[in-house]
């Protein structure tokens, strides 16, 4: 599924999930409103009907009393009208589901009608005793019963209203529970979807970021932890990343090959120039005029710089193309140190820098290294130390035993390296922003080559520095370089392959 589709789907699910509690809440609220409105209307209507019914019953009672005293057709007609009105009102009580009470009143009224007729006839006939008997024996109990029914009806209505209010309250708390449950489920779902979405984006983004960082740091064969066959945009990005690193690797190789060929081709003419300069200086072509001697010296110095540059370029390009070799052979460690001390002593005197070589106890007699290459490394480190240290400063080389190996530390009291640039000093052509303090120009290749050589010896080189105070390079080398293996571009020859010590 593409990232876009995943995002859209998640948004739709989140919206739907949030709509459910919203819908539940809205429905419950509406139902509750309807219930309340119904209750209010019902209560009002029922009270109205009951009030009228009570009025009508009062009328019936009054007319009946009047009838026993006044012999008038009008009073009888009024009594009948009141009875009809009361009956109609009693019927309308059915509407409020008060069936039994309504039935009771209706039957009471049904008794009163004919009894009132008989009473009227008795009054007319002058049978007062019979009329009284009818009034007290039939009409009065029916009226009392109707009154009682009315009261019980009012009571029933109150009970019904209370029941409805309780039911409405129950449905409100039910709706609350449903709403809370729906909200909780919605939140859990939203959290799960967000987690899924974040994970499915975070992982690939992290892998891509690591990949980009690795490429930026020059690790062109970095294995991206992202499947290029994924069906989403990350798959496309992974494929593009692979293609990009492939092309970069190819370019790098082409560049290394070009530099290798160019520097190799440079070596011959430079050597010819140096050869001729040596012949001129020796006077083979006649005596050198005094005026020309310094010019020839300058040409020689520049040609030597060119020769060194060509050699360094060749070295770098060789290990980049995988062709650099180291040839370990047994060497006396102390004589390596002596040679270094002798070589740099002259420079130290010239530059007025205090130079010391410290040999700690327990150093090995003999080591199995490529001495020329290790000399190149220590020479490079000492050259840098002298280059960045002012007159009056100190340069020190300390050699001490380390676990299964030797530790060589070259420290100076020179310019130091800005902390944020420290991690780049082993990169090819990298020069820190301290070149103003350098006594000579360089190309930024010395440390890159040193690192390759040290790693080819299965060793480690690290650097610490404090700006304005000095720098220390630490080399950790095993006593014997044993196994055949490739590191960087250098091929390590096993001791068996190495030439015998002289
Ligand atoms: P090259 O060695 O190729 O002639 P370089 O000395 O400039 O040129 P590296 O030896 O690779 O190149 O060093 C890289 C950079 O590291 C230097 O340019 C310098 O900025 C910094 N550096 C190395 N050693 C020291 C040191 N001892 N003190 C201060 N800066 C150093
Ligand atoms: Mg250098």
Residue 459, helix vs strand vs coil: coil
Q: Using a 6 Å cutoff on CB, does residue 384 contact ligand 1?
A: yes
Asked if the model's pLDDT at residue 240 lies above 90, the reply is: yes
Pocket test for ligand 1, best of 390, 419, 425 (most atoms within 8 A of CB): 425
Closest Cα to atom 22, ligand 1: which residue?
384
In this structure, of 17-21, 183-187, 329-333, the range with the lowest mean pLDDT score is 17-21
Structure tokens, 130: 């019979």
What pLDDT, on the 0 to 100 scale, is given for residue 493?
44
Residues of the chain with CATH 1.10.287: 240-320
Task: Read off the pLDDT band of 26 (50, 70, 90).
Answer: confident
* Interior/surface letters 205-225, b for 16+ CB within 10 angstroms, e for the rest: eebbeebeebbeeeebebebe
pLDDT digits (tens, 9 = 90+) for 82-117: 888 988 888 887 777 778 878 888 888 888 888 888
Architecture of domain 329-478 in CATH? 2-Layer Sandwich (3.30)
- Fold adopted by 240-320: Helix Hairpins (1.10.287)
Q: What pLDDT sits at residue 482?
A: 67
Cβ burial of 265 (10 Å; 0-12, 13-18, 19+) is exposed
Sheet holding 324-326, edge to edge: 324-326, 490-492, 486-487
Whether residue 447 has its Cβ less than 6 Å from ligand 1: yes
- pTM comes to 0.54
Residue 412 Cβ inside 6 Å of ligand 1? The answer reads yes
Under a CB-based contact definition with an 8 Å cutoff, are residues 337 and 399 in contact?
yes
Q: Which of the ligands is closest to the CA of residue 382?
A: 1
Which of 36-50, 66-80, 92-106, 224-238 has maximum average pLDDT?
Answer: 224-238
pLDDT of residue 475: 96
Supply the CATH classification number for the domain 3-193. Answer: 1.20.120
CA atoms within 13 A on the CB side of 289: 3
Q: Where in the chain is the domain with CATH 1.20.120?
A: 3-193
- pLDDT tier for residue 321 given thresholds of 50, 70 and 90: low
The pLDDT value given to residue 351: 93
Ligand 1 nearest atom to the CA of residue 389, by list position: 28
Average pLDDT over residues 344-361: 95
What percent of the chain stands above pLDDT 70? 95
């Amino acid at each position: 599924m593409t990232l876009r589709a995943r995002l859209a789907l998640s948004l739709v699910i989140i919206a739907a999930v949030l709509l459910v509690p919203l819908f539940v809440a809205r429905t419950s609220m509406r139902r509750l409103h309807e219930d309340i409105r119904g209750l209010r209307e019902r209560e009002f209507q029922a009270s109205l009907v009951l009030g009228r019914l009570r009025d009508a019953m009062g009328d019936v009672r009054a007319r009946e009393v009047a009838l026993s005293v006044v012999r008038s057709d009008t009073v009888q007609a009024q009594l009948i009208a009141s009875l009809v009105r009361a009956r109609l009102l009693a019927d309308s009580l059915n509407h409020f589901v008060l069936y039994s009470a309504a039935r009771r009143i209706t039957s009471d009224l049904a008794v009163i009608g004919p009894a009132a007729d008989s009473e009227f006839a008795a009054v007319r006939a002058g049978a007062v005793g019979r009329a009284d008997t009818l009034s007290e024996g039939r009409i009065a109990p029916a009226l009392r019963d109707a009154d009682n029914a009315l009261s019980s009806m009012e009571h029933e209505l109150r009970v019904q209203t209370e029941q409805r209010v309780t039911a409405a309250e129950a449905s409100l708390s039910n709706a609350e529970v449903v709403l809370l449950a729906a909200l909780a489920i919605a939140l859990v779902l939203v959290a799960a979807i967000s987690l899924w979405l974040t994970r499915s984006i975070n992982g690939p983004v992290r892998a891509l970021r690591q990949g980009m960082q690795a490429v930026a740091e020059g690790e062109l064969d970095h294995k991206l932890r992202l499947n290029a066959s994924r069906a989403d945009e990350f798959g496309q990005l992974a494929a593009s990343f692979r293609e990009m690193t492939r092309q970069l690797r190819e370019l790098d190789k082409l560049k290394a090959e070009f530099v290798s060929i160019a520097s190799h081709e440079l070596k011959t003419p430079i050597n010819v120039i140096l050869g001729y300069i040596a012949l001129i200086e020796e006077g083979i072509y006649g005596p050198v005029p005094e005026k020309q001697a310094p010019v020839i010296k300058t040409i020689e110095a520049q040609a030597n710089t060119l020769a060194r540059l060509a050699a360094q370029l060749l070295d770098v390009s060789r290990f980049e193309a995988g062709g650099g070799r180291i040839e370990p052979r047994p060497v006396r460690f102390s004589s390596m140190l002596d040679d270094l001390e002798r070589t740099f002593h002259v420079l130290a005197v010239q530059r007025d820098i205090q130079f010391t070589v410290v040999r700690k106890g327990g150093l090995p007699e003999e080591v199995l290294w490529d001495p020329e290459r290790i000399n190149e490394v220590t020479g490079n480190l000492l050259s840098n130390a002298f280059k960045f240290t002012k007159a009056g400063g100190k340069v020190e080389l300390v050699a001490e035993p380390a676990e299964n190996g030797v530790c060589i530390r070259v420290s100076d009291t020179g310019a130091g390296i800005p902390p944020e640039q420290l991690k780049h000093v082993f990169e090819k052509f990298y020069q820190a922003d301290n070149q103003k303090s350098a006594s000579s120009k360089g190309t930024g290749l010395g440390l890159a080559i040193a690192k390759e050589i040290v790693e080819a010896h299965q060793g480690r080189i690290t650097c610490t520095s404090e700006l304005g105070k000095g720098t220390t390079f630490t080399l950790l080398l095993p006593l014997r370089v044993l196994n055949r293996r490739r590191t960087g571009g250098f091929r390590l020859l096993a001791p068996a392959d190495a030439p015998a010590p002289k």
